[in-house]
A and B are shown apart, each in its own frame.
Chain A
């Protein structure tokens, strides 16, 4: 008796589960897509403070401040140490912001880590104001359901009634 060698059946790829996943992900991502928020370029390690306020619009000029550096539109301004109060050094920040602005008193989005000493933020804001930019937006993490009077304790985390 001659046995016929059967060809192994070609393996077929079942793409139904992949399509299921992609469809659900796509619907979710389209629903949550916000072109305004996508324009915000902040460093990944930056932890923002919380607030209940929402951002009405995203300014084009974005300044990021920590205890160690100042960035304008994602690029660190060389030679600037927020801990120092040398006017010459801060002139670089003013010049950089003026070079990226298209009109006078353009609003600025200020991003700072929640652990940043306010003095450094204050100094940055003061120099921006002296350069003619008096409209500053502080970027925060929004908590919509925060009832009035509920605080976030910095060290413990979580909301307290």
Chain B
């Protein structure tokens, strides 16, 4: 007996796009809302323990460096003995736009001193935040000054 070959009418399977669309309609708005199109960075700063206290004293002959930002200038000064004895030859005044010379001077301080014990940054009150961050970025680009402390006003 011949088997009649039946012509099978096979219907093509249709792709159901509803779950895919559900996924897109749900995920895309969520990711768009949470996306940060501007890469964010940050700088951690340490503050001397409890702003009301004095900076704790440390070793005697290691160099401590202060940075002061005031009126568009950066004043760099070095001290020994807990900031009581100025370090000869460690003193400079730079324009805040003069990053090349600032970095060169910091490199020179590093070459001439074995260890830099502490560095302190003081920003004059009228300085703009952006300028302070810019200089902090420059100072911290040198490993020796990575842990620069931010000297803030004393409060009760």
**Are B43 and A122 neighbours in the complex by a CB distance under 8 Å?**
no
Chain B residues whose CB sits within 8 angstroms of the CB of A144 once the complex forms: 39
Please report the total number of B residues contacting A with Cβ < 8 Å.
53
With beta carbons under 8 angstroms apart, the residue of A23, A54, A125 that contacts B152 is A125
**Are B126 and A114 neighbours in the complex by a CB distance under 8 Å?**
no
Which residues on B are within 8 Å of A, measured CB to CB?
Answer: 17, 20-21, 24, 27-28, 31-32, 34-52, 97, 99-100, 103, 123-134, 136-137, 140-141, 150, 152-156
- Tell me if A9 is interfacial: C-beta within 8 Å of chain B: no
Closest residue on chain B to residue A66 by CB atoms: B129
| A–B complex contacts, Cβ < 8 Å, 27 sampled | A15-B21, A19-B17, A19-B20, A29-B32, A33-B31, A37-B40, A40-B40, A48-B38, A51-B133, A53-B43, A53-B137, A87-B156, A117-B129, A118-B123, A118-B124, A119-B125, A122-B152, A123-B153, A126-B153, A129-B48, A132-B50, A137-B44, A141-B41, A143-B41, A148-B103, A148-B141, A151-B99
Chain A residues whose CB sits within 8 angstroms of the CB of B42 once the complex forms: 51, 53-56, 109, 137-140
Which residues on A are within 8 Å of B, measured CB to CB?
Answer: 15, 19, 22-23, 25-26, 29-30, 32-34, 37-38, 40, 48-56, 87, 90, 107, 109, 112-119, 121-123, 125-127, 129-130, 132, 134-144, 148-154
Chain A residues whose CB sits within 8 angstroms of the CB of B128 once the complex forms: 114-118, 154
Question: CA–CA, A54 to B24, complex, Å?
Answer: 32
Chain B residues whose CB sits within 8 angstroms of the CB of A23 once the complex forms: 24
With beta carbons under 8 angstroms apart, the residue of A32, A107, A130, A140 that contacts B40 is A140
User: What 10 A-B pairs come out closest when comparing CB atoms?
Assistant: A142-B41, A119-B125, A55-B42, A114-B130, A29-B31, A126-B152, A22-B24, A49-B133, A49-B130, A38-B34
Question: CA–CA, A109 to B20, complex, Å?
Answer: 39
**Are A139 and B40 neighbours in the complex by a CB distance under 8 Å?**
yes
**Are A130 and B41 neighbours in the complex by a CB distance under 8 Å?**
no
Closest residue on chain A to residue B127 by CB atoms: A118
**Are B97 and A151 neighbours in the complex by a CB distance under 8 Å?**
yes
Question: CA–CA, A53 to B40, complex, Å?
Answer: 9
Describe B's contact surface by its main secondary structure. mixed
**Are A33 and B125 neighbours in the complex by a CB distance under 8 Å?**
no
Chain A residues whose CB sits within 8 angstroms of the CB of B24 once the complex forms: 19, 22-23, 26
Q: A38-B34, A153-B97 are in contact. Are A141 and B152 (CB under 8 A)?
A: no
B40, B50, B152, B154 pick with most chain A CB within 10 angstroms: B40
Q: A33-B35, A37-B36 are in contact. Are A49 and B141 (CB under 8 A)?
A: no
With beta carbons under 8 angstroms apart, the residue of A22, A140, A149 that contacts B28 is A22
Question: CA–CA, A49 to B132, complex, Å?
Answer: 9
Chain B residues whose CB sits within 8 angstroms of the CB of A15 once the complex forms: 17, 21
Question: CA–CA, A34 to B153, complex, Å?
Answer: 36
Chain B residues whose CB sits within 8 angstroms of the CB of A52 once the complex forms: 41, 137, 141
CB of A141 to closest CB in B, whole Å:
6
